[in-house]
A and B are shown apart, each in its own frame.
Chain A
Amino acid sequence: MDKSKQPEAVAAWGLKKSYGATVALSGVSLAVQPGEIHALLGENGAGKSTLVRIFSGILRADDGEMSLFGQSYRPQSIAAAREAGVTTAFQELSLLPNLSVAQNLLLPKMVKGRFGLNSKAESEARARDILERFGIAHLDPRREVSSLALSDRQRLEIVRALSREPRFLILDEPTAALAEVDWVFDHVRAVAARGSSVLYISHRLGEVRELCSHATILRNGQSIDSVELSDADNDDIFRMMVGRSVFVGGQANKSAPQKTGKPVLSVEGIKSQILRDVSFVLHQGEILGVAALEGQGQQGLFRILGGVEQADEGRISRAGRIGRFKNPHDALTRGGVAFVPEERKVDGIFPGLGVTPNITISILDRLSRGGVLSAPREARTTRQVAEKVELSNRYLAFRINELSGGNQQKAILARALATGAQVLVLFDPTRGVDVGTKQTIYAAIRAFAAAGGSVLLYSSELPELVEIADRCLVIYGGRVLDELVGAEIEEQALVAGVTGHARQRQTTPERPLPLCEEAPAQ
């Protein structure tokens, strides 16, 4: 990159970082102009997070240089990075659950009142100002963060980074838990309009194209190229990201609409705090999608089917037997339902354990003889399911938290497959996962359905449902508002549905909840 004509706001040359024998970055260079929103693209494990951590002052690069607005930039701590005007909204949100919204916003220093002591009232007032300024005044600054919905926590994380008036703002997957992205976009654009630079990391290429002007592509810890997005088509970008051509999107590879299989699981009149009378039938060999904006009750529905929560009313019939699932074990053993929950870090993985036990933990009794685990059997089973999700064998000996997010997700899916359940209930299984891994996960889901399994799949990304679902339920305000089959499943129809606009054939107009996620979440 030529440094001559215009001074970059942010630049990096030849950044390198390794952990022992593992190389995370092996030469990353990029340049961002003032006022530019620059995307960072790459598969999971390409080195994006490491780069973010180096810019944010958490890690120090082994080699290479950085500059910030013409000055050499080498932060020794997060505080130093902030001092220099670099703030970050992290992908794995960095909020403290036991503190209030106000405390989280102002950390590490509260507003002082008399005698140099922290003033609760003034801190809350300052926090309220910030929340109002960034359009999330519905959050009470006194509320404990643990009681917030995931989407609100994500907003808070973003606002925290925005509120420090950064000269260089880094957003790592800021929309992963948000269905509405306009709010983020407006504020990011406002930051850029002030002349600050933004590094935007997202797996959603549509968003990136809408928001960013330039992009740097990382692969295997190296910056492959920096491109102007208007000049590069998706295929070019995917090729640079994965080093080969990937087919993405469209319905071309979707099998013809099928509703042939016999009913496997039927849900009748499920009611809970948010859900109002949800009924549907899942057939054998079917991938049934669920489309909804946040907080429309889909979380509850999936957790009820997974046995994590109980419905207030309604029943689940499975293979002629009627009842409800008392707990996830019951759902699995009696119902043959394996549930993959939403929050990978919290509900999914066992961080200290290896990848193998993470996969086999649900079926240990089957792998044991006389109560003693058979290592060869465990290894054989693990290899078999790992192959189905294309999880490379060399990862099996790692601890699961050492894997990238995408590989962790593959391992969790492998666990569900290993159970031998006939029904998979998957809640947003590709959240925060790169394009290549997504394709792998789709392929595994399709293969499972083709072999006679049934899948209920919620995704926060509508194009994903378009690509993979045979049939799709639209949930709105705790009800099934619409049902789309086969070719009817296309993005416009889904967008209309999730925002409460059912198609004409809906006879009685629903009285939908206002489009405010807070109402049902309370």
Chain B
Amino acid sequence: MTVTTAQPMAPGWKRALSDGAMIITIVYLLLYAIYASSEPSALSVFSISSLINNTAPLALAAAGATLVIICRGFDLSVAGVVSVTNVVMAVMPLEGPWGALGSLAICLAIGGFIGLINGFLVAYLKLQSIASTLGVMIVCQGVALVILDAPGGWVAEWVSYELTDVLFGFLPVSGLILLGVVGLWLLVLRSNLGLAIYAVGADETSAGLSGIATRRVRLLVYVGAGLLYACAGYMLSAQTATGNPNAGTPFIILTFAAVAIGGTSFAGGSGGLIGSMIGAATLMLLQKVLFSTGVASFYTGMFQGLILVLAILFRGSIVALATRRGSG
């Protein structure tokens, strides 16, 4: 394991292990080893980049959902945003690199606007987050159907080729985008906003009494989530190259599964985006592993659920062990 060699061994490695991101990284590497042993081409640039391309939309969606969950909220609008951005990309293809940038701006505007609505409903009108974002999601699904009533349309060629390509022979573009999100998150973590997200998630009243503008933090969190969902829709469009008004539906369950696997507690105040993104990657890798080992595809859901439960179970027992030893 790549544990830093801190002299007081105990707290360091225990903390790392009980940190969800660490566990899921180990699980991911183990899975990859299985994948590589059953599929010799698994370590080729092509396999890796196609895996990352597959992972990117879910990883971005999970990252967005994590923001909200750290702040002790729940955001179901992910499916709506992904669907709307996907159909917009399909009915309004803008060619060339500038077109791609324009499309991205449109997607971000859509995601940011929907996030703003969510944030307003939850933070300022104090509605329950599950109920209100469910409503927003259903409206968005409806809007997607109005824009495109059946699967079809074409995503701009530049987008579907260049964004799924590999730079310099080894660097997948979608991986670069994921790294960009990770980098942004690391910056947010070192800002007062980043701290405030965790504070509000742990105890909104105390956070308010500590001088944090809790409503604004919540609003920003939903907007940030909306932007990330929009990126997810954008990358999904690049990958599928076509539009589908129901494109977002599978995201609901898998997004929250990825967050849970990645070690973010639904109780709020803990966890992080990186764990969720690796969680998403694990779910997608699992599909490949099952395929490569010859397991029929309808077993996939079963195994994904199993991994989810095992990851939580494993973390729980590690935490229990760490606290028991830690107090002795």
Contact = CB atoms under 8 A, between A and B. Distances in A.
B41 interface: no
A108 B211 contact: yes
Is the interface on chain B under 10, 10 to 19, 20 to 34, or 35 or more residues?
Answer: 20 to 34
Interface stretch (B174-182, B195-203, B289-297): B195-203
Contacts of B196: 108
Given A97-B202, A98-B270, A99-B198, A108 B212 contact: yes
A10 B195 CA distance: 34
Interface in B70-89: none
A449 interface: no
B57 interface: no
Most chain A CB within 10 A, of B199, B211, B269, B270, is at: B211
Interface string A77-97: 111001000001010011111
B210 interface: yes
Interface string B199-228: 101110111111111000000000000000
Given A97-B203, A117-B190, A79 B213 contact: yes
A103 B270 contact: no
B7 interface: no
Contacts of B207: 96, 107
B44 interface: no
Contact of B192 (A95, A96, A99, A110): A110
B4 interface: no
A8 to B, nearest CB: 26
Contacts of A82: 211
Interface residues of A, number: 24
Nearest to A94: B209
A118 B202 contact: no
Contact of B191 (A94, A118, A273): A118
Nearest to A118: B190
Given A99-B195, A103-B195, A118-B190, A108 B202 contact: no
A419 B198 CA distance: 40
A505 interface: no
B187 interface: yes
A242 interface: no
B195 A118 contact: yes
Given A98-B269, A117-B187, A118-B190, A107 B210 contact: yes
A103 B269 CA distance: 14
Contacts of A58: 208-209
Contacts of B210: 94-96, 104, 107-108
A78 B187 contact: no
Most chain B CB within 10 A, of A96, A98, A99, A273, is at: A96
Most chain A CB within 10 A, of B194, B195, B203, is at: B195
A76 B300 CA distance: 55
A109 interface: yes
A235 to B, nearest CB: 36
A107 B190 contact: no
Most chain A CB within 10 A, of B190, B208, B212, is at: B190
Most chain B CB within 10 A, of A98, A103, A109, is at: A98
Nearest to A147: B326
Majority SS at the chain B contact face: helix
Nearest to B202: A98
B208 A96 contact: no
Contacts of A118: 190-192, 194-195
Nearest to B208: A78
B192 A109 contact: yes
Interface in A133-170: none
Contacts, number: 67
Interface in B262-297: 269-270
Contact of A110 (B195, B198, B205): B195
A78 B269 contact: no
Contacts of B205: 94
Nearest to B326: A147
Contacts of A103: 195
Contacts of A56: 209
Interface in A256-287: 273
A97 B202 CA distance: 7
A88 B205 CA distance: 14
Contacts of B198: 96, 98-99
B202 A96 contact: yes
Contacts of A108: 192, 195-196, 210-213
Contacts of A93: 206
Contacts of B190: 117-118
Nearest to B200: A96
B203 A107 contact: no
B199 to A, nearest CB: 5
A107 B212 contact: yes
Contacts of A98: 198-199, 201-202, 269-270
A110 B198 CA distance: 14
A107 B211 CA distance: 7
Interface string B116-154: 000000000000000000000000000000000000000
B191 A78 contact: no
Contacts of A88: 209
B190 to A, nearest CB: 4
Contacts of B203: 96-97
A78 B209 contact: yes
Nearest to A53: B209
B209 A99 contact: no
Interface of B: 187, 190-192, 194-196, 198-199, 201-203, 205-213, 269-270, 327
Given A58-B209, A95-B206, A99-B202, 11 more contacts: A56-B209, A94-B206, A94-B209, A96-B207, A96-B210, A96-B269, A107-B210, A108-B195, A108-B196, A108-B210, A118-B190
Closest 5 CB pairs of A and B: A94-B209, A117-B190, A107-B210, A98-B202, A94-B206
Interface of A: 56, 58, 77-79, 82, 88, 90, 93-99, 103-104, 107-110, 117-118, 273
30 contacts: A56-B209, A77-B213, A78-B208, A78-B209, A88-B209, A94-B205, A94-B210, A95-B206, A96-B202, A96-B203, A96-B206, A96-B207, A96-B210, A98-B198, A98-B201, A98-B269, A98-B270, A99-B198, A99-B202, A107-B210, A108-B192, A109-B192, A110-B192, A117-B191, A118-B190, A118-B191, A118-B192, A118-B194, A118-B195, A273-B327
